[in-house]
Amino acid sequence: MPRPGPRLILGSASPRRLELLAQIGIVPDDVRQADIDETPLKGEGARDYVRRIALAKAAAFDLAPDDVLLCADTTVAVGRRILGKPASRAEAAEFMRLMSGRRHRVLTAVAIRHAGKTRERLVETTVRMRPIAAAELEAYLNIGDWQGKAGGYAIQGAAAAFIPWIQGSFSSVVGLPLSETAAMLAASGIIMKETTP
């Protein structure tokens, strides 16, 4: 018997987003990955960039009439510079040195497409990294936790040792602002369910 209500499609291959949704009792019916170009445009600011990418992901899928599509994009910005996923260990080191001893912004844009409409929300969190000693940086890079992460780090991973303070949403820095996302999903008929152990 089909489940009543709309089907939730997560338009992201991020295991972290899947884990975050599970944390609030939401399990997608399907998980898909958008194949889009995520290169920032010349002169594009971080807020405009992250919104554009989340909306492009949301537009990239064919949906059934009652499907609810959830897409998101997270980026790290130091001043006007956008730090994507480092392509190499050397670039990860450059990113971490850039953030060492200063604040940066983590922006996550959430886009939900349902019933012919797309709604979007941007959540910005300020993160402070303490100064990172050269030996600490080498040890961090050796762990490999920087791979596939915007800015070269995951706040819930080894880099937590460098972050004494944040202002904003912790879950947004991980990849999905849960409070805002839950409210947006509820407006489309997707609510948390009791999960079986």
Question: Has residue 152 been placed in a domain?
Answer: yes
Q: Token pair for residue 11?
A: 């338009």
- Please, what is the angle between helix 15-23 and helix 178-187, to 10°? 70
Please tell me the predicted confidence (pLDDT) of residue 4.
Answer: 62
Question: Has residue 197 been placed in a domain?
Answer: no
**What is the β-pairing status of strands 103-114 and 117-128?**
antiparallel
Cβ–Cβ < 8 Å for 5, 187: no
7-41 residue pLDDT tens: 999 999 889 999 999 999 999 999 999 999 999 99
pTM of the model: 0.92
pLDDT over 90 percentage in the chain: 91
111-120 residue pLDDT tens: 999 999 999 9
Question: Has residue 193 been placed in a domain?
Answer: no
Residue 90 amino acid letter: A
Question: Has residue 1 been placed in a domain?
Answer: no
How many domains in the chain?
1
Residue 75 domain boundaries: 8-187
Query: Which residues lie closer than 8 Å to 138 by C-beta, 6 or more apart?
Result: none
Cβ–Cβ < 8 Å for 33, 11: yes
Cβ–Cβ < 8 Å for 100, 128: no
Q: Token pair for residue 178?
A: 């849960």
Question: Has residue 2 been placed in a domain?
Answer: no
Active-site option among 29, 35, 73, 145 = 73
73 catalytic, yes or no? yes
pLDDT over 70 percentage in the chain: 96
Residue 162 sits in a domain of what CATH number?
A: 3.90.950.10
Please tell me the predicted confidence (pLDDT) of residue 2.
Answer: 47
